[in-house]
Amino acid sequence: MSLPWRGPILAVTAVVLDATIFGYLVLLALVIPTFSLLKATGKMSWISALAAFAAAGMAASQIARFITPSMRQAGLGEFSNSPLSLLLGLLCGLAGGVLVAAIASRPLSQTARRIAFVLPFSVMALCLFVLMGASGLELAR
């Protein structure tokens, strides 16, 4: 049975999984230490939070730039070397900063906190199950 839509779904799933893992690594290496430093010095504000996230997004785009030469995708290397990669990293970092600042400034119910905590892990687990299921289908073939 041929499923022509299977390839794009698997590709998107792999990208989401890779990006989520990469995002967590950047969060651990750059954002959390920066937040801790800002909080310890008493300089935590919306502007400093946005600047920290924007810098983390740009740093992530540059880290990805050094990783992409070893990847086989045709346009990935060209995109990572273009100024659009840096701009996209900046915009993604700002979007993340706005989201975190907006959530942090509002009181959340216990249920909302649980959902916010579990949702990223649920997305990663779903991506892993889809990819593992697809690899099992390929092996069975």
Task: Give the pLDDT confidence of 42-93 residue by residue, as tens digits.
Answer: 877 778 878 888 888 888 888 877 776 666 666 666 777 778 888 888 888 8
What pLDDT was estimated at residue 97?
80
Q: 75 lies in a domain?
A: yes
Q: What mean pLDDT value characterizes the chain? A: 75
Rounded to whole angstroms, the Cα distance separating 38 from 97 reads 14
Of 37, 20, 61, 44, give the one whose Cα is nearest residue 101: 44
Task: Identify the residue with better confidence: 119 or 59.
Answer: 59
Tell whether 96 is covered by a domain: yes
Cβ neighbours around 23 below 10 Å, total: 17
pLDDT of amino acid 4: 65
Q: Are 68 and 76 in contact (CB under 8 A)?
A: yes
Which structural domain, as residue segments, surrounds residue 47? 6-140
Q: Confirm if 71 and 89 have CB atoms less than 8 A apart.
A: no
Specify if 1 maps to a domain: no
State pTM to two decimals. 0.63
Please check whether residue 116 lies inside any domain of the structure.
yes
Q: 51 in a domain, yes or no?
A: yes
Number of domains observed in the structure of the chain: 1
pLDDT of the residue at 2? 57
